[in-house]
Amino acid sequence: MKAVFRILSLAGLLTLPLVSQAVLQNGQIEFGLIKGKATLLNPKAEKKPASTGLVFEEGYRVETTVGSTTELLLSNGATLVLSPNTSLEVRTFRQVGSDLIKPGQYRLLDKEPSPSVTEVIVKRGKITGEVRKLNPQSTFTIKTPVGVARVRGTIYTVEYAQNTTQGVGNIKVSVVRGLVEVSINGSNTGASSVTAGQQMSAQGPVDVTKNLVQSVKAGTAVTNSTQLPKVEAAATTLTVGDEVAAPGVPKGTKVVAIDAEGNVTLSKPVTLPVDAEIIVVAPGSTDVITSSAPITNSNKLPPMDGQSAVSVGDVIVGPGVPYGTKVTAIDDQGNITLSTPVTIEAGTVLVAATALPPETNQLDTMRSTESVVNSAKLPPIENSALSVGDVVTGAGIPAGTKVTGIDDQGNITLSNPVTIAPGTEIEIKPPDVPPPVVPVTTSITKLNSDQVSSVATTLATGSTLSQQTVAVVTEAAATAPPPPPLNIVDPSTSTGGGTAPSGGTTTDTTGGTAPGGSTGTTTDTGSGTTTDTGGSTNTGGSTNTGGNTNTGGGTTTTPIDKVIDTINKVIEKEQQNNPSPAGG
């Protein structure tokens, strides 16, 4: 996906009245109303019970249990309510300092006091939010593994569920007031505008089958620089918008530009030794953690830097970690237990993935029993474990040689003649199997009265928002269309989702039945056209009024990168003029 954005004026920021005395700082998040139990995890995954009035910053994760809700009050005036069984990470929350930002009074703000950059990630569950009028220079982004929602001043919900086995993610975005722009990974129709009274349901592929650990090497050492000269494999491995990770690389660093010679420009200054391995992070499906101590042949890890989003069941990938190693337990102090002993150095960058990457390097081996000279025929080899289509490699075997036949006696036919001596070790690799194709399907429907009433109930019972805000939603519910009648279906009849003319059947599984009784089923018409079953038709070429165009899931450059970069320039200039320590 590529984003088209409005360039933020540096001069505009410099004219803000408080920039001369307050620079970019960490935004503050305060727990409001809590019902049941909620947990706060710091960047090292150390847990503590949430309590009303507890304040935290970016890098933390909040989780609710079954039957529990919690309210988060942000220092830019926004409110988030987490529904039961929800996991939300505050990836980025930074804002320019302002005298209007006063602890304990965030809910009293009627509009955002200063420019900010907010990026939260919904890993599972549902959030209901109210965003006050944002500064024109601000961004408020909600990410899920399957797509991104960009919010302006509004009342909305975002719900996400994932079927890891099938590599499918489902998202629902409902808007009661305002506007949300939604981009779905892999879609070629651009971002969709979800306006007041609408709900967008979408299904898309989640990257759980490709090899999540791709890396490049820094050609030279760099110190506090955004420029990486002549990075090995940059042209084939990196894409503008990729997030990268390594010791000495700040969290959230992304690729801004790559030239023909492999020179790479990053969004943040980094410090790296020569030949440093830089891991390319698969957005939304992985988290990067860094070992804080050396581990030798042990399945016990102390708390890791950046592990707040690591969960039991995640696969750990990296140097010194056997293939298939999973997280089996995490205690209250953040100590991790793995399924397999590992040996890693302090500072090793690892990837925690929600699913196992393909077994690309796991090879069976066999040994030839006779010499073969320039022949594509091999005699039977005991315990060869060969299958037609397997790729074989070894001394005297041309690259790309495959098994084309095996007869009843075990004689092997290859695609190329080989010359091998008795005892030659031959490696066997199964053929690469492409992952299943997951169709991208979207639909925009009208919210019915029960669905809007559910939002009003959530705000009224799960938040400390004013009754006036709740009344706005309640009034919207009164004017929304009634919910559809219940359909009585013969149990012997299939109730699957709509069938696309292209052959794919899609059922929206993002939480089952919506509060109003809507089953949330989406139908891909196979033509790129998105149908609004509530009466309006989205022609598939929807215009992103927020300025972000999704070109089909390739390269992504978000407005967040530009805002952060611009505000960071303000900080650098301020520090040059006034060397006092910067906030945040």
Q: Is 150 found in the same domain as 100? A: yes
What pLDDT was estimated at residue 321?
79
| Domain, as residue range, for 399 | 364-429
Q: Which tokens sit at 298?
A: 């042990």
Q: Which residue is associated with the tokens 């149990």?
A: 491
What pLDDT was estimated at residue 450?
94
pLDDT digits (tens, 9 = 90+) for 303-315: 877 666 677 877 7
Q: Which tokens sit at 443?
A: 């639909």
Q: Is 32 found in the same domain as 81? A: yes
Inside any domain, residue 497? no
Higher pLDDT, 434 or 517: 434
522 neighbors 498 (Cβ within 8 angstroms):
yes
Max avg pLDDT among 218-232, 287-301, 339-353: 218-232
The residue from 156, 178, 207 where one domain ends is 207
What pLDDT was estimated at residue 384?
61
3-class SS letters over 125-142:
EEEEEEECECCCCCEEEE
Q: What angle do CA 221, 226, 229 make, to 5 degrees?
A: 50
Lowest model confidence (mean pLDDT) among 61-75, 199-213, 503-517, 565-579: 503-517
Q: Is 132 found in the same domain as 21? A: yes
Q: Is 381 found in the same domain as 295? A: no
Predicted confidence band of residue 91 (pLDDT cuts 50, 70, 90): confident
Distances (CA, A) of 577 to 21, 428, 572, 574: 11, 63, 9, 5
145 neighbors 208 (Cβ within 8 angstroms):
no
Q: Is 229 found in the same domain as 343? A: yes
Helix (H, G, I), strand (E, B) or coil at 532: coil
Distances (CA, A) of 57 to 74, 401, 414, 551, 570: 10, 55, 60, 33, 21
The CA distance from 360 to 362, in Å, is 6
pLDDT digits (tens, 9 = 90+) for 161-187: 887 656 788 999 999 999 999 999 878
What pLDDT was estimated at residue 311?
78
Q: What is the mean pLDDT of residues 437-458?
A: 91
Q: Which tokens sit at 545?
A: 């009024």
Helix (H, G, I), strand (E, B) or coil at 329: strand
pLDDT digits (tens, 9 = 90+) for 127-161: 999 988 878 888 899 999 888 999 987 899 999 98
What pLDDT was estimated at residue 68?
94
What pLDDT was estimated at residue 286?
62
Distances (CA, A) of 139 to 11, 268, 306, 383: 18, 18, 24, 60
Q: Is 231 found in the same domain as 197? A: no
What pLDDT was estimated at residue 42?
83
Average pLDDT, the chain: 74
Q: Is 101 found in the same domain as 23? A: yes
What pLDDT was estimated at residue 490?
54
| Tally of domains within the chain | 3
The residue from 163, 189, 207 where one domain ends is 207
What pLDDT was estimated at residue 34?
96
Percent of the chain beyond pLDDT 70? 69
The residue from 179, 207, 235 where one domain ends is 207
Strand partners, 286: 353
Q: Is 148 found in the same domain as 27? A: yes
Predicted confidence band of residue 11 (pLDDT cuts 50, 70, 90): very low
pLDDT digits (tens, 9 = 90+) for 247-274: 778 877 888 888 877 889 998 999 988 8
Q: Is 395 found in the same domain as 336? A: no
Q: Is 110 found in the same domain as 36? A: yes
Lowest model confidence (mean pLDDT) among 18-27, 214-223, 442-451: 18-27
Q: Is 44 found in the same domain as 109? A: yes
Continuous segment of H or E residues that includes residue 564: helix 559-577
Lowest model confidence (mean pLDDT) among 20-24, 141-145, 370-374: 20-24
pLDDT digits (tens, 9 = 90+) for 322-331: 767 888 888 8
What pLDDT was estimated at residue 8?
31
pTM of the model: 0.54
3-class SS letters over 85-105:
CCEEEEEEEEEECCCCCCCCC
Inside any domain, residue 501? no
Domain with residue 20: its CATH number is 2.60.120.1440
What pLDDT was estimated at residue 460?
93
Q: Is 121 found in the same domain as 244? A: no
Higher pLDDT, 188 or 32: 32
* Type of residue numbered 175: V
70 neighbors 33 (Cβ within 8 angstroms):
yes
Inside any domain, residue 349? yes
The CA distance from 245 to 349, in Å, is 7
Residue 499's contacts (CB-CB under 8 Å, 6 or more residues apart) are 505, 523
DSSP code of 503? S
Predicted confidence band of residue 230 (pLDDT cuts 50, 70, 90): confident
Lowest model confidence (mean pLDDT) among 226-235, 386-395, 433-442: 433-442
Higher pLDDT, 221 or 499: 221
What pLDDT was estimated at residue 519?
39
Inside any domain, residue 544? no
Inside any domain, residue 192? yes
Residue 349 has pLDDT above 90, yes or no: no
Higher pLDDT, 203 or 205: 203
Inside any domain, residue 340? yes
What pLDDT was estimated at residue 260?
73
Inside any domain, residue 492? no
Higher pLDDT, 416 or 233: 416
Inside any domain, residue 571? no
